[in-house]
Amino acid sequence: MVVHVPSLEQRTMRPISAGIVVGNRQLEESLNTCLQKLPVRIVFEISEIPENWSDFTDRIERTEPDVVLLDVTKVSEPLEEVIRRIRATKKHPVVIALHTAEDPEAILAAFRAGANEFLCPPFDRPLQTALERLAKTKEASAEAHAHDGKTIAFVSAKGGCGATTIACHCAADLARRTQKKVLLMDLDLESGLIGFLLKSKSPYSVADVAHNLSRLDESYWRGNVSESFSGLDVMAAPPPASLGLIPTEQFAQVVDFARGSYDWICLDLGRNLTAYTLPMLNQIEELYVVITHEIPALHQAKGMVERVLRMGYAPERVRLLMNRMPKHSDVTLEELDQLLGLPVWATVANDYIILQEAHAEGRLVDPATTLGKSYSHLVSRIAGLEEKKKRLSLFG
211-260 pLDDT tens trace: 888 777 777 888 889 887 777 999 999 887 665 567 777 888 899 889 88
Helices 295-310, 333-340: axis angle to 10 degrees equals 50
User: DSSP string of 250-302?
Assistant: HHHHHHHHHHTT-SEEEEEEEES--TTTGGGGGG-SEEEEEE-SSHHHHHHHH
CATH topology for the 145-383 domain: Rossmann fold (3.40.50)
- Closest by Cα among 192, 171, 183, 270 to 235: 183
pLDDT digits (tens, 9 = 90+) for 270-288: 988 887 888 788 889 999 9
* Percent residues over pLDDT 90 in the chain: 42
How many residues are recorded in the chain?
396
Asked whether 140 and 147 are in contact (CB, 8 A), the reply is: no
> Residue 141 pLDDT more than 60?
no
Q: What is the fold, at CATH topology level, of the domain defined by 2-142?
A: Rossmann fold (3.40.50)
Close Cβ partners of 356 (under 8 Å, ≥ 6 residues apart) = none
- Do 332 and 344 contact (CB within 8 A), yes or no? no
Q: Which residue has the higher pLDDT, 283 or 142?
A: 283
Neighbour tally for 208: CB within 10 Å: 19
- Average pLDDT over the chain reads 85
Phi, psi (degrees; rounded to nearest 5) at 70: -115, 120
- pLDDT tens readout for residues 282-317: 889 999 999 998 889 999 999 999 888 888 889 999
Q: Render the burial of 74-102: b for 16+ CB within 10 Å, e for the rest.
A: ebeeebeebbbbbbbbeebbbbbbbbeee
Q: What is the pLDDT of residue 107?
A: 93
Question: Is the pTM above the cut of 0.85?
Answer: no
pLDDT tens-place string over residues 57-79:
989 988 889 999 999 998 888 99
Counting residues of the chain whose pLDDT is more than 70, the rounded percentage is: 90
Helix, strand, coil % (nearest 5) of the chain? 45, 20, 35
- Identical fold for domains 2-142 and 145-383, yes or no, is yes
Calculate mean pLDDT across residues 3-14: 45
Domain ranges of the chain: 2-142, 145-383
- Flag whether pLDDT at 373 surpasses 90: yes
pLDDT of 82 strictly over 50: yes
Alpha-carbon dihedral sign for residues 210, 211, 214, 215 = negative
